[in-house]
Structure 1
């Protein structure tokens, strides 16, 4: 016989009550428009388990008072910047060099064995910054392999050179104050440089996160990129990424003058931010927004000239050094041209060169290939049935530039990180590429160590470069696929057009009458639609 247990009397929905631990707030607004990766992305959902699991189904989104997405992302960026500094710390250790003096300890090829190499450390002496020299004014002589002497100057664009000069002044001022913690000057210089670069990278993360729009958490991919750990302090490239991201943010906010100024200043630090004017050109041409683009272009030229003209007028030879070196240098170890040469008996486009002789054939081929990339991207931008997003074209252009260029310094991969995340926010695919690219640093350091010093043969390094290039090409292919199939574009899910577009966002096609028919958008067929579909 069943036990006699008191059962609650049934109630209907009209009499059922729900109790809350506290009175409900009057304001129940929720940012439901925001993408929530812990709900729709398997990897993010698994990672969320470490902090309590995915956000609840009935939770109000965007109501946190302190730990907002931006603050969390910037905090993650600080953590990864700290990891980046720790990977370089081994190269600023000091040792006794006799008679009670200390100096930098790079004995036993520490910079390669510990994989802590950073250009900023040797440049402190190589660019005569340790002597307090002003860049572009001070010169020195360098003996070439054939015995001839070359007069040298600061080899960086003006804004990067002035940044180094300013960091040197701060380091020397710090060193002159006896009650501050002391160290050898080059270590102080590196830390001053790193602090400024960290701030620049935080600006990059901040601006890119704002550009992500409803997909705000995509900014975490930039903050937590493995490439940050390896390369954020390898050279001065975060200065350029900050200006580039800031310029795109200003464009997205419909401020073409500010966008041009920031891109022009970025071009005075590294030339690549000026490339971003190219995608804006073809998209503005397609939509009839050439006035806005012309404003941005003139602002960029004015900003670039404002920085460069005084140095060029006062120290023309020092100012020209950057352009001279880029003209005369051969194929870098991880350029596609050197990769081909390392696996074949090919001696290069120019063959053996004399000291100071420019690789004219290599320069011409590299330029022609990049022009072909530009033409191809322009054709896609003008003829795709639906106008591509700004970030998609910017990523394709910068990736094409790196692949076809004769120089792909390892830290250049940082240029791609914000653009790739904004163009293709597929987390696992992006993390796979970033990890591959970051790991290229290991065989690179072992190759520089030299086979005679228990390092790796060149082909071990160039083989990983091939894998890196293939990974970047895969990203390019996926971006192109989504341009022609906008329904697969995660950014455009939910009816979004272009968060980075600014005046282009939602603008109808209005190509000029003089544009040939084959450079016009493809005509829609009956029953076709270009509206994106939500796949989240």
Structure 2
């Protein structure tokens, strides 16, 4: 007989409809959910009527929670989209007194509106160029620095904001500064993308649909949903995983290809997918997804690459020439030891070739380790587990960890290791890195914080991610500890892999003389 922790909760909206007895009841399995339920009647009783509410289904509750969190995210950025009239009677954006750092509301969206020349009429990303550091030895030509889908996304939002301003000037609509309208329009689409992310995770979680609530209420969403444009990538990545889970390999490839045209990380999911398909002999399905991914990515990029090759290469050029990011482990090492880095004395604009090589080699070594885990684990790992390990390895070994990149890990972590307290603790720590980061940027001369505070929180954040990776590997080699498998699923994200037998497995031979008796 199943224990209460093994009972499941229904999802009447799921196409693979589960009965109330087939779904996990979080108030039975999660102490955090049990405590949160007290104001609403406490834990569900053994004979409670579950799965019969016609409107407040788990998915709709998750989406409502996400809307609340996204509203808080907009409020967190709102101090940076205020305006004032200066002494000359000109309306200005109110970033006086380093408000963007003091109020911790900084968003790349606001300065990029002018920095990427989106405010100029008759401009188009990748065609339009400008000169940075004009008149200086570091003078160079610049173009839009983002991948094609993200760059065009910014441009379309700018055109909509400018259209809003023109209508507003006629008295039909409120007319704040165009950059404020641009931020709000962009935030609207980014919020929709995160709702798609939460929706896809809820569908992928299946028996553990309530795990998606952690995606919805993540502290990282409050801080970083509107810091940059990364929720576009999370939406495409999780929707692509959902398409694969529903055995639609071509659609999965299209969505991952679109994600790759917005940010790089959705393409990392293909690596774990390949390994698991090799292990289960499902190569045909993988090739369909891979082909669709490459064709989609090429179709999005080809027109820009053909018409504006210099502008299209800008994203790749900048990422190649970029130095260490303040959030990277390389910077922590350099700041605390006095190390000059892998490429000391590098001229402005030169490529840090040794740093790039070391970063790439370390990532490939981690990927090889993930490959060994995938092929040697006693039970085939779940797709979300391996995907989390690969993306986490990229962030830990890469020379750049922009703060909003942490959003990439949120849906993967929830699907890979749905332990609520642990995940919320990591997300809270990661979100809090924003505080010393902002006050470090403010500068000690402006009553900011010294860099050591910032670097210390970066190390704590990285240690938390490493701990999650260790626990994921532990559950891969001990499937009985995996909460998803304990609930009765094999691999909810697996699609063709779900329940498939192993065909290729690397069995580790043990020396009988040194083996420990069971």
- Is structure 2 residue 248 aligned with structure 1 residue 255? yes
2:464 to 464, 471, 476: 471
Tell me if the contact between 2:77 and 2:107 (Cα under 8 Å) persists in the aligned partners. yes
- Is structure 2 residue 271 aligned with structure 1 residue 282? no
- Is structure 2 residue 37 aligned with structure 1 residue 48? yes
1:103 to 92, 109, 116: 92
Give 3-state SS (helix, strand or coil) of 2:207's partner: coil
Number of residues of Structure 1 aligned to a counterpart in Structure 2: 490
- Is structure 2 residue 198 aligned with structure 1 residue 205? yes
Give 3-state SS (helix, strand or coil) of 2:141's partner: strand
Give 3-state SS (helix, strand or coil) of 1:320's partner: helix
Residue segments in structure 2 that go unaligned for 5+ positions in a row: 1-17, 512-518
1:78 to 62, 67, 76: 67
1:167 to 152, 157, 162: 157
Aligned to 1:58: 47
Q: Distance in 1 between matches of 2:108 and 2:356?
A: 25
Q: Distance in 2 between matches of 1:247 and 1:157?
A: 19
2:124 to 122, 134, 137: 134
Tell me if the contact between 2:200 and 2:242 (Cα under 8 Å) persists in the aligned partners. yes
Q: Distance in 2 between matches of 1:194 and 1:523?
A: 54
Aligned to 1:520: 506
CA pair 494-186 structure 1, distance change in 2 beyond 3 A = closer
Q: Distance in 1 between matches of 2:220 and 2:148?
A: 26
Aligned to 1:514: none
Q: Distance in 2 between matches of 1:66 and 1:72?
A: 9
Q: Distance in 1 between matches of 2:307 and 2:267?
A: 24
Q: What are the residue-to-residue correspondences of 1:12-31 with 2, within 5 Å?
A: 30-31=19-20
Aligned to 1:157: 147
Tell me if the contact between 1:287 and 1:508 (Cα under 8 Å) persists in the aligned partners. yes
CA RMSD of superposed structures (Å): 1.4
Tell me if the contact between 1:366 and 1:405 (Cα under 8 Å) persists in the aligned partners. yes
Tell me if the contact between 2:138 and 2:349 (Cα under 8 Å) persists in the aligned partners. no
Tell me if the contact between 1:433 and 1:468 (Cα under 8 Å) persists in the aligned partners. yes
Structure 1 residue 39: deviation in Å? Answer: 1.7
Q: Distance in 1 between matches of 2:204 and 2:72?
A: 26
- Is the radius of gyration larger for structure 1 or structure 2? 1
Tell me if the contact between 1:85 and 1:233 (Cα under 8 Å) persists in the aligned partners. yes
Give 3-state SS (helix, strand or coil) of 2:64's partner: helix
Aligned to 1:442: 435
Q: Distance in 1 between matches of 2:39 and 2:476?
A: 36
Tell me if the contact between 1:145 and 1:355 (Cα under 8 Å) persists in the aligned partners. no
Give 3-state SS (helix, strand or coil) of 2:441's partner: helix
Q: Distance in 2 between matches of 1:87 and 1:524?
A: 55
- Is structure 2 residue 419 aligned with structure 1 residue 426? yes
1:411 to 391, 395, 404: 404
1:217 to 196, 210, 229: 210
Residue segments in structure 1 that go unaligned for 5+ positions in a row: 1-28, 512-518, 526-536
Aligned to 2:10: none
Would you tell me which structure has more helix in proportion to its own residues?
2
Q: What are the residue-to-residue correspondences of 1:230-269 with 2, within 5 Å?
A: 230-269=223-262
Structure 1 residue 44: deviation in Å? Answer: 0.8
**Following TM superposition, where does structure 1 have runs of at least 4 consecutive aligned residues deviating by more than 4 angstroms?**
521-525
Give 3-state SS (helix, strand or coil) of 2:484's partner: coil
Structure 1 residue 30: deviation in Å? Answer: 4.9
Q: Distance in 2 between matches of 1:81 and 1:169?
A: 24
- Is structure 2 residue 81 aligned with structure 1 residue 92? yes
Moved more, 170-179 or 409-418: 170-179
* CA distances 1:224-269 after superposition (whole Å, capped 9, x unpaired): 0000000000000000000000000000000110001100000000
Structure 1 residue 494: deviation in Å? Answer: 4.0
Give 3-state SS (helix, strand or coil) of 2:235's partner: helix
Q: Distance in 2 between matches of 1:449 and 1:495?
A: 51
Q: Distance in 2 between matches of 1:148 and 1:420?
A: 42
Tell me if the contact between 1:30 and 1:61 (Cα under 8 Å) persists in the aligned partners. no
1:190 to 183, 196, 211: 183
Give 3-state SS (helix, strand or coil) of 2:485's partner: coil
Structure 1 residue 145: deviation in Å? Answer: 9.7
* CA distances 1:463-482 after superposition (whole Å, capped 9, x unpaired): 10000000000000000000
Structure 1 residue 521: deviation in Å? Answer: 4.2
Structure 1 residue 51: deviation in Å? Answer: 1.4
Tell me if the contact between 2:207 and 2:487 (Cα under 8 Å) persists in the aligned partners. no
